């Protein structure tokens, strides 16, 4: 690995970890395009590699939140049950729904929520 | 029941590779009395079981580029430590506003995303 690339990877990892810890999300949204541009990895491998990186970072961040008493276990169990079923449905739907329309409507929801949260 | 439905929707988004957290956190903030740190903590925790399953699947499929993982994980752990410590120290209101700005940028990214090259 070239020294230049290694330095950029370290910066990317640090930034993704910082955002993921601070906002409790978003590490993957930074890592996937970041790795895609810095390395010759394809889209599919970028997604898979991103998960293997965010997993240990998330465990560390969760532990820090937990120590601070910010984890509500009874609610977490309900959300996990729903999201496991949802993840299965989502993975199946992926091949049947045009991603482009879904992304744009989802982005609009995020924009409205973002404005509501700032003000 | 409400939490199961919210989990279901964020799971669908996550399963389609669009990012479940960006829907789960605002939904919890807008529709429940949980504060910003609690919502973020829930998202972090709920990511872990799904990510373990995905990780094992991808590892078996040979889709993980291990040579890039080490520098990214080491630097990432340092960032995650600093980020989480910042999050638990600042006020919930300020963190919610910062998250809103971050969500806005993510929304623009999703909106203008060009797809697989």
The tens place of each residue's pLDDT in chain B, 117 residues long, gives: 899 999 998 888 887 777 778 889 999 999 999 999 999 999 999 999 888 888 888 888 888 888 889 999 999 999 999 999 999 999 999 999 999 999 999 889 888 877 654
> Residue A81 and residue A87: Cα distance in Å, rounded?
10
**Own/partner pairs, A97-103, CB within 8 angstroms, 24+ separation:** A97/B16, A99/B16, A99/B115, A100/B115, A102/B16, A102/B18, A103/B18, A103/B110, A103/B111, A103/B113
Q: Which of A26, A72, A90 sits opposite B12 (nearest CB)?
A: A90
- Condensed to tens digits (0 to 9), the pLDDT of residues A68-118 reads 999 999 999 999 999 989 888 887 887 777 767 778 888 888 899 999 999
CB A85 within 8 A of CB B8: yes
Q: Give the mutation candidate from A75, A89, A91 for the B interface (greatest B CB count, under 10 A).
A: A75
Give the per-residue pLDDT at A37.
87
B47/A107 touch (CB, cutoff 8 Å), yes or no: no
> Residue B112 and residue B117: Cα distance in Å, rounded?
14
Q: Which of B76, B100, B117 sits opposite A118 (nearest CB)?
A: B100
Scanning every residue of chain A, which has its alpha carbon at the shortest distance from the alpha carbon of B21? A25
Distance from CA of A109 to the nearest CA of B (A): 8
Tokens of A92: 């199946």
Q: Which residues of A touch B24 (CB under 8 A)?
A: 25, 79, 83
Tokens of A81: 């049950």
Give the per-residue pLDDT at B112.
84
Scanning every residue of chain A, which has its alpha carbon at the shortest distance from the alpha carbon of B86? A22
ipTM for the complex?
Answer: 0.91
B11/A82 touch (CB, cutoff 8 Å), yes or no: yes
Burial of B107 (0-12, 13-18, 19+ CB in 10 A): buried
Q: Is B70 on the interface with A (CB under 8 A)?
A: no
Give the per-residue pLDDT at B117.
45
Distance from CA of A44 to the nearest CA of B (A): 7
Q: Where are the domains of chain A?
A: 1-118
pTM of the model: 0.90
Residue matched to tokens 């399963």: B15
What are the CA-CA distances from residue B114 to residues A99, A100, B111 (Å)? 11, 9, 9
- Condensed to tens digits (0 to 9), the pLDDT of residues A13-49 reads 999 999 999 999 999 889 988 998 888 888 778 888 9
Give the per-residue pLDDT at B22.
84
Q: Where are the domains of chain B?
A: 1-113
Q: Which residues of A touch B91 (CB under 8 A)?
A: none
Residue A119 pLDDT exceeds 60 = yes
Give how far the C-alpha of residue A38 lies from the chain's centroid of Cα atoms, to the nearest Å.
Answer: 18
Give the per-residue pLDDT at B115.
60
CB A2 within 8 A of CB A39: no
């Amino acid at each position: 690995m070239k020294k230049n690339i290694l330095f950029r990877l370290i910066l990317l990892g640090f930034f993704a970890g910082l955002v993921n810890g601070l906002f409790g999300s978003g590490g993957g949204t930074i890592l996937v395009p970041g790795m895609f541009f810095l390395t010759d990895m394809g889209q599919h491998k970028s997604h898979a590699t991103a998960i293997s990186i965010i997993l240990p970072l998330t465990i560390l961040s969760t532990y820090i939140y937990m120590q601070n008493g910010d984890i509500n276990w009874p609610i977490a169990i309900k959300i996990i049950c729903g999201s496991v079923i949802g993840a299965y449905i989502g993975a199946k739907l992926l091949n049947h729904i045009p991603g482009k329309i879904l992304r744009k409507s989802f982005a609009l929801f995020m924009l409205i929520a973002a404005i509501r949260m700032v003000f | 029941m409400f939490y199961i439905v919210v989990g279901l929707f964020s799971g669908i988004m996550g399963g389609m590779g669009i990012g479940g957290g960006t829907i789960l956190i605002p939904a919890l903030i807008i529709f429940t009395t949980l504060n910003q740190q609690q919502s973020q903590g829930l998202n972090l925790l709920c990511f872990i079981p799904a990510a373990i399953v995905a990780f094992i699947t991808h590892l078996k499929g040979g889709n993980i580029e291990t040579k890039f993982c080490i520098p990214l994980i080491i630097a990432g752990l340092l960032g995650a430590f600093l980020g989480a410590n910042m999050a638990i120290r600042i006020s919930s209101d300020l963190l919610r506003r910062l998250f809103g700005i971050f969500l806005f940028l993510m929304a623009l990214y999703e909106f203008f995303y060009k797809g697989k090259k």
